[in-house]
């Protein structure tokens, strides 16, 4: 019974993290937005990105290949499906990502932006 209870607690914990994750850092430069997305435990082939307008969709799904052991607790997420509203204006139909790199469980995405407005000189 304790084993079943631990398994259920682990499943609820994993479901919570699948909802909350992944943690994302964003840096806004003059001409680009950089996103750093933590996806530990996932491989490059498990991850799919989609940019539609200013909404970035992050989907990741990994297969549980370790079936030979009796799992007592499984809290790490197997599925991530998150949509982020980006703090930039992207014209419809002009979505582009200049680069995306996956290394050591961190996905780095660079999105070029158009500078809006104008600089004001202060005298």
86-108 pLDDT, tens digit each: 888 765 555 667 788 999 989 99
CB atoms under 10 Å from CB of 19, counted, come to 11
Identify the domain containing residue 48 by its residue range. Answer: 2-65+72-112
In a domain, 117, yes or no: no
What CATH code is carried by the domain that includes residue 25? 2.60.40.790
Rounded CA gap, 56 and 54, in Å? Answer: 7
Q: What's the structural domain count of the chain?
A: 1
Evaluate if residue 20 carries a pLDDT over 80: no
This prediction's pTM: 0.70
Pairing of strands 24-28, 99-103: unpaired
pLDDT tens for each residue of 38-81: 988 889 999 999 888 888 899 998 876 666 777 666 666 778 88
In a domain, 119, yes or no: no
In a domain, 120, yes or no: no
Q: Closest Cα to residue 11, out of 70, 64, 98, 78?
A: 78
């Amino acid at each position: 019974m304790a084993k079943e209870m631990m398994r259920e607690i682990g499943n609820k914990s994993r479901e919570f993290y699948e909802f909350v994750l992944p943690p994302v850092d964003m840096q806004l430069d003059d001409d680009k937005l950089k996103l750093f997305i933590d996806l530990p435990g996932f491989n490059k082939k498990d991850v799919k990105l989609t940019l539609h307008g200013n909404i970035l969709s992050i989907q990741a799904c990994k297969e549980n290949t370790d079936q030979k052991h009796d799992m007592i607790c499984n809290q790490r997420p197997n599925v991530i499906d998150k949509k982020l509203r980006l703090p930039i204006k992207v014209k419809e139909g002009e979505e582009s990502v200049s680069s995306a790199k996956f290394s050591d469980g961190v996905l780095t995405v660079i999105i070029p932006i158009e500078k809006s407005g104008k600089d004001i000189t202060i005298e």
